[in-house]
Amino acid sequence: MESTLPTQPELDHPNPTTSLLSFDSDPYHPPTRSKPTKLTLIAILLTSSLLTFAVGLILGFAFHPGHKPDTEYRRPLTKLKNPVVILVSSDGFRFGYQFKAPTPNIHRLINNGTEAELGLIPVFPTLTFPNHYSIVTGLYPCYHGIINNYFTDPVSNDKFSMANHDPKWWLGEPLWETVVNHGETAATYFWPGSEVKKGSWTCPQKYCQNYNGSVPFEERVDTVLSYFDGNDIPVFMTLYFEDPDHQGHQVGPDDPEITDAVVRIDRMIGRLIEGLEKRGVFEDVTVIMVGDHGMVGTCDKKLIFLDDLSPWVNISDNWVQSSTPLLAIRPTEGVSLKDVVTKMNEGLKSGKVENGDKLTVYLKEDLPSRLHYADSYRIPPIIGIPEEGYKIEMKRSENKECGGAHGYDNAFFSMRTIFIAHGPQFARGRKVPSFENVQIYNLITSILDIKGAPNNGSLTFPQSILLPEP
């Protein structure tokens, strides 16, 4: 059985030494003091007098009975009857990509909206399906059930893949289901889990697109825009792009192909904005642009081979449910889990295993609590977490390739993605601290003014990011 969802869990934040950029600066050396001259003293007195006069004017104006302080409130809707949210995902859009090239449309949203200043923090593991489903349910993977892109149920021995739409795998209540539960219309143009018919969500043909990666990005945008041309405008819509994740896996995060992909995404955002403006609803609609994870460069010189551990423990192929970057091991029944972990770590730290010091293996219950990756029977009992950019393979091979990967510890800054929100309830040009993507569910239900399902996000989070009512 799945574990019970905590009512309001406390969020464990990543170690700031690994999850935040550090800025080293030279120690401050006070300048050598020199004796002030008479002219200097006169200048100081004049400057002080002018400053005092200026401050007096400012304070007199600010506290004049007829003056109102400049406070921004949420802006009223002018064309739409109800709030509408478009949730846009650019897969693998690592935080910082928005500066790789001129991205005028993305920066229009940033400059006139609210941005997570140092990026959005994905959930662990930093993989596509677990994170996309966390965004729309507000749940950590151990509670929404999608604990990896591929895994095996240890009880039924059934296998989950990204093409599986059986509702037994997909727990929790995604936003499209929540919206329908409140008598409103939702539309999904691709999103992991959106094709699953569960609860009140039937994946209606008109408003639920079955995944097809060959559909041009322009067609996806235009279809979403067409929803504003009918009488029944969905109050919640999703829009998904595979890029720049597709290129990131092939060439890593620093290749010119990534820049091209980011520019293409910016064009799609521009197409969306232009279409909303033509319909006169851009300022009424909330556009939230996110990614699911970041990306880091990998090369075959950064490899850890499980076969190298054979002097300590033999790891069978059928034990390994995923190998890289998330190592997930479920030994056969009767094998001591504790012994396997102890022997693996002994070998890895012996100095005799290539790159062995770059991998740490845990019993899942001993994982750092900030990862929230223990409370599900679906999660294999042994989890290995490599250092940033390292890959794990069973056997040595002659393959030599460089590319990119994700799935690492979500404390790594390279795994961060973007959060940009533009709409009536978001301040213009505001920067907010980074936060985990499980907070987005409550944020969207607050914008739509509907009651959400229980989740791992904070119920007070929306108050910290949304504008107050006038």
Which positions are annotated as active-site residues?
128
The first and second tokens of residue 257, run together, are 């192909």
In 3D space, the residue among 330, 334, 327 whose CA is nearest the CA of residue 356 turns out to be 327
Residues 6+ apart with CB under 8 A from 208: 176, 187, 188, 194, 195
Which residues, at least 6 apart from 454, have a Cβ–Cβ distance to it below 8 Å?
5, 7
Separation of alpha carbons 365 and 133, rounded Å: 23
- In order of 40, 100, 109, 237, 260, the CA distances from 266 in angstroms are 53, 11, 11, 19, 10
DSSP at 415: G
Pairing relation of β-strands 402-405 and 320-322?
unpaired
Of 187, 191, 212, the closest CA to residue 201 belongs to 187
CA–CA distance, 225 with 23 (Å, rounded to integer): 43
**Nearest CA-CA partner of 322 in 372, 392, 388, 390:** 392
Cβ-Cβ contacts under 8 Å for 351 (sequence gap 6 or more):
357
8 A C-beta contact, residue 390 and residue 384: no
Q: What CA–CA distance (Å, rounded) separates 253 from 100?
A: 10
Give the HSE-up count for residue 454: Cα atoms under 13 Å, Cβ half-sphere: 8
Q: List all residues 6 or more positions away from 372 whose beta carbon is below 8 Å from its beta carbon.
A: 12, 123, 124, 140, 141, 142, 456
Q: What are the backbone dihedrals phi and psi of residue 332, each rounded to the nearest 5 degrees, phi first?
A: -65, 155
| CA–CA gap between residue 272 and residue 87 (Å, rounded) | 12
Q: Enter the tokens of residue 47.
A: 């400057």
Q: Which residues contact 4 (CB under 8 A, 6 or more apart)?
A: none
The structure tokens listed for 134 are 């966390």
C-beta atoms surrounding 72 within 10 Å = 13
Q: Say if residues 440 and 288 touch (Cβ distance below 8 Å).
A: yes
Q: 264: which DSSP letter? A: H
Output phi, psi for 232, to 5 deg.
-100, 85
